[in-house]
Amino acid sequence: MSKVLHSQSVKSALGTLGWTQKRLADEIGVTSQAVTNWLKGTDFPRPDKLLKLAMTLKLGFDQLVDSQVAKPVIAFRKKAGTKTTSEHIHRAEVMGALLKPLVSFLPPRRALRTQIPSPSTDYEALQNTVAAVREKIGIGMQAELTYQQLIGEFRANDAVIVPVMWGRKQNHENALHILLPDEQVTFVYLNLDTHQEDFKFWMTHELAHVYTPEIAGKDDGEDFADAFAGALLFPRELAHAAYVEAAKLKTKTPQMEVLRHYAHKHRISLFSVFCEVRNYASATGVAPLKVSELDIHAVRNLTRGGLVSESLFKPLPPDPKTLIATSNTTFQSPFFSSLQKMLHDRGTGAGYLQQVLNVSIHDASALYAELVR
């Protein structure tokens, strides 16, 4: 479908900044005639220029682009204490727009997908939901949910994993979810520079968004995704077993050791186990354990494990060939193989990788050289 810029939004933004079209052209790195053509609707910015335009004028996708194409749906899995700003949303929406041309190079999409029709955080309803999902995956209620099973669910539901290395502190998001409604394809960016104990929870949180596209990107969607992730990883049956074992012990320290044992066994965080046991106790009306949330955080902060990237790559950082191979094999993602086809077919440059992966031009150029050689 044809797309044009909202010329009035652009002109209003220019007026607010006190800029001329010539100044905008200089900032974006194009000619004045190019800007004139965009505003007249006779031409449309290339993806990298569209992103620069959005970031420069601080306009969202729907403010900037007049299109019959549905805008991308964005959901962030944020670092604690961070705030989603308009800049984060703008960048993610334009990243979504950049991903649209890649869709035609992905493998054929599947006809059947898992959907949760009435997502609810009510304890009984949530436990029934995760029981159905575990049955669909083919695992019992007390079995560990493995990484490979999670990855298989992403693949079965046309969700493309994009493993990235965004650092522990430098970036706003631990994970980024971009749903393209028209194409019915989801891209899930997973930051590998995060603690191993948290990674499975974040993956499951993102899977919840895949199962519930109608509430992805909304506050109730985030609430459900958090509740679903904890319950799927450590459902009622496991919470009951952990509670019974810990409740026999009368002091905090041995109770804590029981919870730590279950966390280690299921390769999830101590906090996740604690929350699900606490939810179980509240729902069933039994007395809570002696261990408090403050106790959990104190122990957890002293025993944090390594990063996912550290376990996957030695040495760090990985060279482009290793990163691509890990994406292809460990995460079973078609992202880089599809990207490689697109680069060869369309002659797209390294700048596209820089924008769509949100990485430095140095890293983008190295990846580009590996993909096109």
Mean pLDDT of 119-136: 97
Tell me: the pLDDT tens digits for 255-294?
A: 999 999 999 999 999 999 999 999 999 999 999 999 999 9
Contacts 24+ apart (CB under 8 A), 7-14: 7/38, 7/39, 7/40, 7/41, 9/59, 9/63, 9/64, 10/38, 10/39, 10/53, 10/57, 10/59, 10/64, 11/39, 13/57, 13/58, 13/59, 14/57
Q: What CATH number is given for 104-233 in this structure?
A: 1.10.10
**pLDDT recorded at residue 6:** 86
- Taking domain 1-69, whether its CATH number is 1.10.260.40 is answered by yes
Contacts 24+ apart (CB under 8 A), 219-227: 221/75, 222/75, 223/121, 224/119, 224/120, 224/121, 225/75, 227/121, 227/126
Tell me: the pLDDT tens digits for 334-354?
A: 999 999 999 999 888 898 898
User: Is the Cβ–Cβ distance between 21 and 39 less than 8 Å?
Assistant: yes
**pLDDT recorded at residue 48:** 72
Extract the tokens encoding 120: 């609810």
Whole-number mean pLDDT of the chain? 90
Extract the tokens encoding 216: 């992805």
Per-domain residue ranges of the chain: 1-69, 104-233, 236-302, 321-372
**pLDDT recorded at residue 193:** 94
- Residue 302 pLDDT > 50, yes or no? yes
**pLDDT recorded at residue 85:** 65
- Residue 120's SS3 state is coil
Tell me: the pLDDT tens digits for 139-163?
A: 999 999 999 999 999 999 999 999 9
- Residue 83 pLDDT > 70, yes or no? no
Mean pLDDT of 198-216: 95
**pLDDT recorded at residue 287:** 96
Range with the largest mean pLDDT of 65-79, 301-315, 318-332: 318-332
Local confidence band at 200 (pLDDT 50, 70, 90 cut-offs): very high
**pLDDT recorded at residue 259:** 98
Does 104-233 match 1-69 at the fold level?
A: no
- Residue 62 pLDDT > 70, yes or no? yes
- Residue 171 pLDDT > 70, yes or no? no
**pLDDT recorded at residue 1:** 43
